[in-house]
Structure formats: C-alpha cells, structure tokens
Amino acid sequence: MGHLDGRTALVTGSVQGIGLSVAKALAAAGARIAVHGLATAKQADEAIAAVSSAGAPEARFFDADMRDVAAIDAMMDNLEEWGPVDVLVNNAGIQKTASLAEATPDTWDAIIAVNLSAAFHTMRRALPGMAERGFGRVVNIASVHGLVASKDKAPYVASKFGLVGMSKVAALEYAASGSRASGGVTVNCICPGWTETVLIEPQIDARAAQFGGDRDKGIASLLSEKQPSLRTSDPAEIGELAAWLCHRTAHNITGTAIPIDGGWTAQ
C-alpha cells in the first residue's frame, strides 16, 4: 500500500515539468490527483494518462487561471466536492528576466499573482480542512531564488522569497494540528536550482547565443556560474522529495525550505 492511499492531491501547474513529475510521484504513492494547468485538451489528456499510468486510482483536470481569485475559489469548491484536499502542491509559476529598471508593472503583477498570491489563495482554502482532519501536507515549489538573489529577476525573486516566508507563517499556525498518529499538518518549500524544465530555456538560449548557438556550452556556462555540482536536476528528483514530505513519518518536518541546488546556496 502507498502512504497516500485514499488521499487527494492538488498539484498546480502539473501538465509538464516539475509539476507533472510531482503529480506522478504522488500518484505512485497512491493519491488521487487533481491535475491543473492552462493547457490544450491534448496536453490535459496526456497529463491525466501519465499520472494514471504512474498509479493514481483517479485523476481529474482543472484549468483555473491562477491570476484570477474567483477562478481559484471555484476550483477549490469543485475539489471539495470531488474529495477534500489532503495534499496541496503549489507549483504553478512563471518567470521573465529583466533588469529592475526594465521590468514592467504588468510583468511584476503577473509574476506575483501566479507565483505568490495564487499559493495564498489555495492555502487559505485547503489548510483549515486539513487541520480539522488531522492530516495535511502543503509543499510549495519555491526556488533557490527564494533563498538567494540573482540579477535581472526582481519580480521572480520577490515572489519566491515571499512564498518561503508565507510558508513559514502557515507552518507555525498549523504546527499543532493533528498528532503523530494522524500525521499532522505540515507546510514546507522545495527550492530547486537549475532543473531541466522549459522555464529555464530562455536563459539557456541566451547563454548558447554567446557560444555561437551551442546549447551544451550554454548549459555549462549557467551551471559553472552558480551550481557547484555542475549537474542539473531532473524534475523526477523534486517529485520524489515532495512525495517523501507527504509521508506520515514526516509529521515534524515543517517550516523548512529545502534546496536541491548542487551546493548553490552553500557558497
């Protein structure tokens, strides 16, 4: 039996990349999966098929726009009818690199809305029910940029620092909910460094251009600047950590921000 048998998990931004890998890992642990994203019908069907193949006893697709509070509330209402949310993974995120002077108000508003405010709105809806049932897991996919800064990423860094801080507040507010036997309610962040997803492709392309379009050299350049291991992470590795944090025996691991960054933040 999987440690999430009988549980329902919502993973935002789970039609690809880290989100899909997290959803598959939770599915393998036995959870019913609420797949979420802004996707075509084909992309949604493929994501549902992937989590079902990974072991989800049931999967359903939700397409709420995470910039829209009313849409988030409607999604959470629908989820409560489908099955109370036991595991919430806030993964949906966007990024655009630009200097502080060049970043537009629209860029700021969009990144803060999706990366930070959306997580607040899902958490405020899900956490009270988790506390009532004595078990709940919130895993927020932050970033190494929730722990350290980089140039040309002011909105993104602000959103991720905010996500880490908000998660610590929620962890404190719900720390005494439930028990060791029930599993309690925990709130944690995972902070990936360079990970093989479409989110970093624009940065890879920009670096590759410096080497005549050589993508491998572009990746090597990014890694050498920040990530001492000189290795990217596979999204599946983030998924495995998320699933482990959802185990009942992780009841006393809360309020953390765990880097998967090849030593980036150890420097």
**Residues forming the active site:** 156
Both tokens of 254, joined, read 């809360």
Our CA angle for 110, 89, 144, nearest 5°, is 65
Q: How many CB atoms lie within 10 A of CB 52?
A: 16
Phi then psi for residue 145, to 5 deg, are -80, 5
- Separation between Cα atoms, residue 192 and residue 180, nearest integer Å: 28
Both tokens of 84, joined, read 């109370």
Q: What is the CA radius of gyration of the chain?
A: 18
E strand intervals along the chain:
8-11, 32-36, 59-62, 87-90, 135-141, 184-192, 257-260
